[in-house]
Amino acid sequence: MADLYPVPQDWAKRARVNAEKYTQLYGRSLADPGSFWLEQARRLDWIKRPEIAGDWSFREEDFRITWFVDGRLNASANCIDRHLKTRPDQVAILWEPDEPGEEARRFTYRQLHAEVCRFANVLKAQGVQKGDRVTIYMPMIPEAAFAILACARIGAIHSVVFGGFSPEALAGRIQDCDSKIIVTADEGRRGGKRVPLKANVDASAAHASSLQKVIVVRATGGDVAMQDGRDVWYHEAARDVEADCPPEPMGAEDPLFILYTSGSTGKPKGVLHTTGGYLVWVSLTHELVFDYKPGTIYWCAADIGWVTGHSYILYGPLANGATTVMFEGVPNWPTPSRIWEVIDRHGIEILYTAPTALRALMREGDEYVKRTSRGSLKLLGTVGEPINPEAWRWYHDVVGGGRCPIVDTWWQTETGGALIAPLPGATDLKPGSATRPLPGVDPQIVDAEGEVLTGAAEGNLVIAKSWPGQMRTVWGDHGRFFQTYFTTYPGKYFTGDGARRDEDGYYWITGRVDDVLNVSGHRMGTAEVESALVLHAKVAEAAVVGMPHDIKGQGIYAYVTLNSGEEPSDALRKDLVAWVRTEIGPIASPDVIQFAPGLPKTRSGKIMRRILRKIAEGDISNLGDTSTLADPGVVDDLVANRAA
Ligand code: 6R9
């Protein structure tokens, strides 16, 4: 067992949970979930404390998932108001701007309360009511947090759309949840560049007929067009509203937010999370996994537009009375030292980031790290994709100076918060393994037939029992929710991931087993990229697969068949890449486009992706059985014209 990093002794002594306590907590959580979860629910402030814990079934005949259903609470009151008694003057949100020379902004819990109340009153004044969907399309500025928490305060359902998504992608997400109002900014800033958010909203409006109001936060002062009767400057509207806004009492199962994520079909799913279970889950997991003690300066370097930003920049940390850092910029601007400089500047103790960022910074050499102190760091975390052991060791040895445990947290938009992750005071670490399940999580490895494999095994990862942070439905399509997650292995939640469990019971996530790509930790459905490509006037057909990529983890490899009469060219290749960027956003840019006169299809017309994946990976010696193809000849052409 050479590659084992035992729990450091001081961690075992000081942490909230040591190995013995973990075993006991985990055991109780599965043996007596009712009392375990009602006890855990006490970590929140309830208007009415629940007496019912989980009530769920993953079977078709009585399919249901509820947690704490008789409880009442408000998420924003839990993240703000209850800290006003204990830590009103502690910094809640510490904002680091894109420009390194610019001053950081700090909001204490008292100030956060005032800002969120004001934002909530502006939303109300614009007609937003409990249950309405509010789209939030914002840069990483404090107002994004205020808008999110303001929705929670008045019981509106927020749907945050990542600021890097295109007008088309934004329109689809506004329309799908029938959102009448959007909160945006004039522009965003990232790595010294401007992002035209308001102009993107204007462009999306033509395809989003539900949209009636646009609230615009002035962030850069850039010039934007304002449409009379539709567009409202936030700073103007905020002048006319009252300073206080009492939190709306919500049922535990009332929706808190929708977040769109890619699945294996073309249309992103609106993942719905509710209030009580989600908040219990993110608060508990944030406390356990980061061994969080209130006041510790903590930085989750995700974007607020992804679930990691929702759960571990905002809801989890704020529920726990944290000082949470929000960073407007990017890791490699103006230099690859930026992250480490921000850590030194603010005395950050916990850093939570993605393997893709680490790989990109690792490539620049150790000098950029070593010229900074990082003496404040105590704990490191990763999320978003499997971390390769090499990047893990670099993070541990170079970034953390060998002192800081790494918590590799496996989870999904659907799971609300981490499900498999080490606890720094309890779990010996193995580089590349997310280690063991958190309390209440019952993972299983099943084979293709659904047979549960025991002991050391590799197969598909399912979760056998509900946990409070589980998504409750796909917005507007409950049938799709059941169909997507509970029919592959009846009675179990199917994650879409493959995993291996070793002889010590440690889990090693091997990646997606469905048609979902993970590009730089961002989920992308192959079908979404394909639909974008075939919208192009010259494209007849497209098939997209993942390919190994040093920095991004996975890159996008697209096979494109042109309409007859159209000629392949480098110019067209560039045009298609630009096309996908405008249709979806820069994160979906294909890395490779191979023009293909034909795609390998079965006689029933199904594209054989297995073959396309192998060619993209360059593994052409072993293409497997091609005899079932309608025209085996196309494979020779694909191999001969490999583009990578
Ligand atoms: C939180 C988040 C979910 C997919 C998931 C898996 C991959 C996330 C991981 C990981 C290995 C980890 N993933 N964390 N794989 N180790 N620590 O990323 O949510 O964007 O929905 O992506 O990401 O494949 O299924 P989301």
Q: Is 386 in the pocket of ligand 1 (CB under 6 A)?
A: yes
Alpha-carbon span 376 to 352, nearest angstrom: 14
Q: What percent of the chain has pLDDT over 90?
A: 91
Q: Is the CB of 409 under 6 A from ligand 1?
A: yes
Strand pairing class (350-353; 297-300) = parallel
Residues 422-467 have pLDDT tens digits of 999 999 999 999 999 999 999 999 999 999 999 999 999 999 999 9
d(CA 471, CA 416): 7
Instruction: Choose one of 518, 524, 552, 587 to mutate for the ligand 1 pocket test, by most ligand atoms within 8 angstroms of C-beta.
Output: 518
- Verify whether ligand 1 is closer than 6 Å to residue 76 (CB atom): no
Residue 332 labelled as part of a binding site: yes
pLDDT digit string (tens) for 188-233? 999 999 999 999 999 999 999 999 999 999 999 999 999 999 999 9
Which one, of 286, 382, 300, 287, lies nearest residue 96 by Cα? 300
The C-alpha atoms of residue 405 and residue 416 are separated, in whole angstroms, by 23
Q: ipTM greater than 0.85, yes or no?
A: yes
Q: Is 411 in the pocket of ligand 1 (CB under 6 A)?
A: yes
Give CA separation, 338 vs 100, 244, 371, 406, in Å.
Answer: 8, 38, 11, 20
Contact (Cβ atoms closer than 8 angstroms) between residue 364 and residue 336: yes
For residue range 591-618, list pLDDT tens digits in order.
999 999 999 987 777 788 889 999 999 8
Q: Is 57 a known ligand-binding residue? A: no
* pLDDT value at 346 more than 90: yes
536 annotated among ligand-binding-site residues: yes
Residue 142 Cα to ligand 1 midpoint, Å, equals 26
Residue 180: helix, strand or coil by DSSP?
A: coil
- pLDDT one-digit tens code per residue, 547-562: 999 999 999 999 999 9
With H, G, I as helix, E, B as strand and everything else as coil, classify residue 173: helix
pLDDT at 1: 45
Q: What is the pLDDT of residues 144-193, one digit of tens each?
A: 999 999 999 999 999 999 999 999 999 999 999 999 999 999 999 999 99
Is 70 exceeded by the pLDDT of residue 632?
A: yes
Spatial CA neighbour of 498 closest among 455, 539, 540, 443: 443
CB 413 near ligand 1, within 6 Å:
yes
How many CA atoms within 13 Å lie on the side-chain side of 578?
Answer: 6
Kindly state the average pLDDT of the residues 260-284: 93
> Per-residue pLDDT for 288 more than 50?
yes
Report CA dihedral (486, 487, 489, 490) to the nearest 10 degrees.
80
Do residues 174 and 166 lie in contact, with contact meaning Cβ atoms separated by under 8 Å?
Answer: no
CA distance 533 to 577: 9
Nearest CA to ligand 1 atom 10: 385
How far does residue 100's CA lie from ligand 1's centre (Å)? 30
Summarize pLDDT for 75-120 with one digit per residue, the tens.
999 999 999 999 999 999 999 999 999 999 999 999 999 999 999 9
Tens digit of pLDDT for each residue in 351-380?
999 999 999 999 999 999 999 999 999 999
Q: What is the pLDDT of residue 644?
A: 62
How far is CA 540 from each of CA 331, 558, 562, 577, rounded to the nearest angstrom?
39, 13, 5, 16
Mean pLDDT of 488-502: 97
Atom of ligand 1 nearest to the CA of 512: 24
pLDDT, position 265: 75
Phi first, then psi, for residue 173 (nearest 5°) are -75, -30
Do the strands 323-327 and 297-300 form a parallel or antiparallel pair, or are they unpaired? parallel
Which residues are CB-contacts of 267 (< 8 A; sequence separation ≥ 6)?
Answer: 172, 176, 528
Residues 6+ apart with CB under 8 A from 483: none
Indicate whether residue 501 lines ligand 1 (CB < 6 A).
no
Look up the pTM and report it.
0.94
> Looking at ligand 1, which atom is closest to the CA of residue 387?
16
**Residue located nearest, by CA, to atom 22 of ligand 1:** 412
| Distance from Cα 384 to the centre of ligand 1, integer Å | 4
* AA letter at 170: L
- Strand bridging mode 105-108 / 133-137: unpaired
pLDDT digits (tens, 9 = 90+) for 26-42: 999 999 999 999 999 99
| Average pLDDT estimate for 483-492 | 98
Q: Is the pLDDT of residue 289 over 60?
A: yes
Query: Using CA atoms, how far apart are residues 572 and 595, in angstroms rounded to an integer?
Result: 10
Q: Specify the 3-state DSSP secondary structure of 14.
A: helix
Closest CA to 528 of 542, 539, 540, 549: 542
What are the b/e assignments for 88-115, b being 16+ CB within 10 Å? eebbbbbbbbbeeeeeebebbbbbbbbb
User: Measured between alpha carbons, how far is 32 from 10 in angstroms, rounded to an integer?
Assistant: 31
Of the pLDDT bands very low, low, confident and very high (cuts 50, 70, 90), residue 633 is confident
Q: What atom in ligand 1 is closest to the CA of residue 413?
A: 21
Ligand 1 pocket, residue 496 CB under 6 Å: yes
Any known ligand binding at 386?
Answer: yes
For ligand 1, say whether the CB of 435 is within 6 Å of any of its atoms.
Answer: no
631 vs 472, higher pLDDT:
472
427 lines ligand 1 (CB under 6 A): no
Longest dimension (CA), the chain: 73
For residue 509 and ligand 1, the question of a CB distance below 6 A is answered with: yes
Asked whether residue 411 is marked as a ligand-binding residue, the answer is yes
